Amino acid sequence: MGDYRMEQYNSEFAKLADVCRENGKIDSELYTKYNVKRGLRDINGEGVVAGLTRISTIKSKENVNGEMVPCEGVLRYRGIDVTEMCKGFIGQKRLGYEETAYLLLFGKLPDEAELKGFQNLLAESRTLPKNFVRDVIMKASSADMMITLSKSILTLASYDDNTDDLSLPNVLKQCIKLISVFPMLAIYGYHAYGYYDCNNSFYIHNPSPELSTAENILKMLRPDQKYSALEAMVLDLALILHMEHGGGNNSSFTTHVVTSSGSDTYSVIAAALGSLKGPKHGGANIKVVRMFDDMESNVKDLTDQDEVAAYLRKLLHKEAFDKAGLIYGMGHAVYSMSDPRAQLLKSFVEKLAKEKGREEEYQLYKMVEGMAPQIIAEERHIYKGVSANVDFYSGFIYSMLDIPVELFTPMFAIARIVGWSAHRMEELINQDKIIRPGYKSVIPPTDYIEMSKRP
């Protein structure tokens, strides 16, 4: 198609889009009139209860004299405080991704023999079909690693003779397989894109059965396959904290919805990936990193609090960065006083920044974290407090681990596949009805059209 025809072609779609917009707009006042909770959240930001779960618990409010008031955030996996669990791993200087995955999937902490058996099962499952890298990952490579992941997941269904078998043992086997190969699919996809589209060298490092998930990610990603103990521990911590966050987050809810229709595991996980891909969900940490890059380009003195504060106000006034009016990494749909995941990550950011010689950047992050809540409170009418969320520091951590920005969201997926798997199993165990919320039609009777009277 020539340039002129392409211009005409695009112009036609622009006109048709205007028709869609004109006839598809719904008056925002109607949501209040009919008591419809937009985004399944009420006016106070509380989520509409759509299901029950035993997998994780989020606490952001507590009862004080009969009134629910904001409190320090708490996240529990299967009833266990994640903060305390991670502090235990850190104190014992051991990596806990696999143990936490066992906890989420099976509802209890494993004993030594159970953990070893599970680790062996993950290692045995960490293989791809013959020529899969060549025939699937290396062909039609994409700059969008989430698209690459989705393509690979759906193609894996072609290699499974029991794709549509919804028995619990089969679904569990499929889930553990996907948990095992997600890092390979993401990292090999990144290397394939760099080789074919960016003219970089191409290398494939096979995972080692004796290494943890975090260690294998760093080994497969780096040309020299080397990493420090601190790097492995920080990445392991990030994966644990991103592993699960209640059934109400967008991608986990998507997992429940698609599972309830009777769909197969590969389609369910591909749907969850599509949800996580959105910048309002899994792509938020990329926005944080790019916002700080823009800040460094437009603020003369990054140690001057007044200059940094002025930039933050410009963000809120839609005068800086992407002009969305947001300070990315600040605020959360559930937490108000604190996000426990952000607090845990922050405890390691300073150590990693020192090891990587990026202490000045850390001080800037620390300054913004301290100033942003007050600036947001002054500039906006908000119904609750605002604090740094998990995305505020995770992108900076990935950057210090030399993980390319293209893999930031896939790293989230590599962790969250465990939570998705647990939610899929939970939905299958308790499945009763297909999830089908109602939508009220707001077409006025005067707009009804009788075809026989159509001009």
Three-state SS at 308:
helix
Q: pLDDT tens across 267-311, in order? A: 999 999 999 998 888 888 899 999 999 999 999 999 999 999 999
Task: Tell me the longest C-alpha to C-alpha distance in the chain.
Answer: 78
> What is the value of pTM for the model shown?
0.91
Q: Smallest Cα–Cα separation from 273: which of 288, 290, 258, 291?
A: 258
R_g over Cα of the chain: 24
Q: What pLDDT sits at residue 204?
A: 87
Do 424 and 170 form a contact (C-beta atoms < 8 A)? no
Does residue 332 carry a catalytic annotation? yes
Tokens of 406: 């293209």
Write down the catalytic residue from 391, 402, 432, 447. 391
Q: Does residue 408 carry a pLDDT above 90?
A: yes
Determine the average pLDDT of the residues in 332-355. 86
| Least reliable range by pLDDT among 315-329, 330-344, 368-382 | 330-344
Banded pLDDT at 93 (limits 50, 70, 90):
very high
pLDDT of 451: 65
- Identify the bridge partners of residue 47 per DSSP, sorted by sequence position: 41
Mean pLDDT of 182-196: 86
Contacts of 225 (CB under 8 A, 6+ apart): 205, 219
Range 180-201 average pLDDT: 81
Q: What is the mean pLDDT of residues 57-76?
A: 84
Q: What is the distance between the alpha carbons of residues 401 and 415, in angstroms, rounded to a whole number?
A: 16
CATH T-level assignment (fold) for domain 80-278+423-430: Citrate Synthase; domain 1 (1.10.580)
Task: Assign a CATH topology to domain 284-400.
Answer: Cytochrome p450-Terp; domain 2 (1.10.230)
Residue 121 has pLDDT above 70, yes or no: yes
Report the alpha-carbon distance of residue 308 to residue 295 in Å, rounded.
8
What does the pLDDT read at residue 383? 52
- Name the phi and psi angles at 41, rounded to 5: -135, 140
In 3D, which of 241, 249, 413 has the Cα closest to residue 342? 241
Catalytic residue among 332, 423, 432, 447: 332
Instruction: Tell me which residue of 67, 85, 68 sits closest to 76, measured CA to CA.
Output: 85
Residue 40 has pLDDT above 90, yes or no: no
Distance between CA 407 and CA 218 in Å, rounded? 12
Mean pLDDT for 365-386 is: 85
DSSP string for 225-278: ----HHHHHHHHHHHHHTS---TTSHHHHHHHHHHHTT--HHHHHHHHHHHHTS
245 noted as active-site residue: no
pLDDT of residue 453: 65
Task: Cite the residue boundaries of each domain of the chain with CATH code 1.10.230.10.
Answer: 284-400
Please state, in angstroms and rounded to a whole number, the distance separating the CA atoms of residues 391 and 328. 8
Alpha-carbon gap, residue 241 to 236, rounded angstroms: 9
pLDDT: which is higher, 195 or 361: 361
